Amino acid sequence: MKNIKIITIVGARPQFIKAAVVSRAIISFNSRHRLSTDNQQLITEIIIHTGQHYDQNMSVVFFREMQIPEPAYNLDINGLDHGAMTGQMLEKIEQVLLKEKPDLVLVYGDTNSTLAGALAAKKLHIKVAHVEAGLRSFNLNMPEEINRILVDRISDILFCPTETAVNNLKKEGYPNIINHESRTTNHQLIVNVGDVMYDAVLFYEKNAIQSELEVDLKKTPFILVTLHRAENTDDSKRLKSIFDAFIEISGDMPVILPLHPRTRKKLQLLEHNYLDIIPKTLCLIPPVSYLEMIWLLKNCRLIMTDSGGLQKEAFFFKKPCITLREETEWIELVENKYNFIAGYESSDIILNYQKIKNIQFNFSKKPYGKGNAGELIVEHIYRYFGLLILSKYNK
């Protein structure tokens, strides 16, 4: 039986979490299907870390907490503008692909690392699979939106997390291909496998770690907040407006905010250093590990964020979410009234908080699959190359 060689490209913390799910699924797949005669692995994975969002805590998360193989290549590309970063990644990834000669390049999400990896592979006529395909915020001012649209267009396999994502691709004129039998050489394969982040939550929930904070969060209802997107942090008016809301809301319920380094720097540049006027009820803490974040998600009352991933994780942990943006990719959460779009105006953020803080929500909907997205991705990849009938995971 043929061995499939996969290059996985990651560069940002959310991608590490998603890649961990699929890496574990590859290991499990090999264990279940390995030939007893020669112990041959059916799938070989090589991980490239571009270095896009590298820091020491990220390294710890990747190796210790995520329980996945160490990257074979670390390109150490970070701290550059979009064009320079993407260009350097494209050049260095191409060198690795020429050396390793993989059958498939696997990319995740919407980062510069994802775009560079997909471009490098496609120009070398290597197949590309995109995990989290079909997401759309319909805001082309977001670099992430540009990246995901371009990567979808050139990918050979599009692994969608929801039916909404599949429908987005159909509306854009993608071929209506959702099974292997109808696939031809030039067609893309579009599959709804569910969301790998749901897999991750189910796997790592039992390993949650409580952060060491002055506040006893087990006894105190609190709001979990994150804020990092450039559209909010780079605009001083928006940043001030959002933090004004945090300050007022924290007077009613404590707010825990793991502060992104870029956000901290932007706060210090405001006319009045906001770090000097933050009340104790708005608790700014250093960035936390993934397992610490899981603990905070499990124990908070509600979530406010401009992160796409955290909006979903709020739902997975049955917590309402106020989104500090004017749009979201996760439209099914808005439609089912789990997620509330507040934007950046203080009054709108406060109004949404007052509206939902005492509501008991019913989280019975299941828009993100069964928690087996990783297994489905691996088996669809193997079947794509004409080598295996899908197993029980697709039943």
Give me the pLDDT at residue 375, please.
97
Residues 19 and 132 reside in one and the same domain: yes
Phi, psi of 81 (to 5 degrees): -70, 165
**148: in domain:** yes
Mean pLDDT for each 10-residue chunk of the chain (395 residues)? 88 88 93 66 92 62 68 86 90 98 96 96 97 94 93 96 94 72 68 96 90 68 93 92 96 93 86 83 89 92 94 96 95 95 97 95 92 96 74 46
**236: in domain:** yes
Residues 30 and 118 reside in one and the same domain: yes
Tell me the three state secondary structure of residue 389: coil
Tell me the residue range of the domain where 316 lies.
208-356
Q: At a CB cut-off of 8 Å and minimum separation 6, what does 114 contact?
A: 9, 11, 15, 107, 108, 130, 147, 148, 151
Sheet holding 104-108, edge to edge: 73-74, 43-49, 4-10, 104-108, 127-131, 157-160, 189-192
- Angle at which helix 13-33 crosses helix 196-204, to 10 degrees, equals 80
**281: in domain:** yes
Nearest of 289, 309, 320, 304 to residue 131 by alpha carbon: 309
Residues 159 and 12 reside in one and the same domain: yes
Task: Catalogue the active-site residues.
Answer: 228
Q: At a CB cut-off of 8 Å and minimum separation 6, what does 77 contact?
A: 11, 50, 51, 52, 85, 88, 89, 92
Residues 186 and 258 reside in one and the same domain: no
**201: in domain:** no
Residues 111 and 57 reside in one and the same domain: yes
Beta bridge partners of 393: none
The total of structural domains in the chain comes to 2
Residues 104 and 150 reside in one and the same domain: yes
Residues 213 and 337 reside in one and the same domain: yes
Residues 233 and 271 reside in one and the same domain: yes
**362: in domain:** no
| CA pair distance 342, 340, nearest whole angstrom | 6
Q: What is the pLDDT of residues 19-67, one digit of tens each?
A: 999 999 999 999 888 654 456 778 999 999 998 765 555 555 556 667 7
Can you give the pTM of this predicted structure? 0.87
**147: in domain:** yes
**337: in domain:** yes
The size of the chain, in residues, is 395
Residues 68 and 181 reside in one and the same domain: yes
Angle at 143 between CA 328 and CA 263, to 5 degrees: 80
CATH number of the CATH domain containing 299: 3.40.50.2000
Residues 376 and 288 reside in one and the same domain: no
Residues 343 and 311 reside in one and the same domain: yes
Tell me the three state secondary structure of residue 115: helix
Give me the pLDDT at residue 392, please.
46
Sheet holding 282-285, edge to edge: 282-285, 255-258, 223-226, 302-305, 321-323, 339-341
Q: At a CB cut-off of 8 Å and minimum separation 6, what does 64 contact?
A: none
Give me the pLDDT at residue 37, please.
44
**108: in domain:** yes
Residues 377 and 312 reside in one and the same domain: no
| CA pair distance 197, 311, nearest whole angstrom | 11
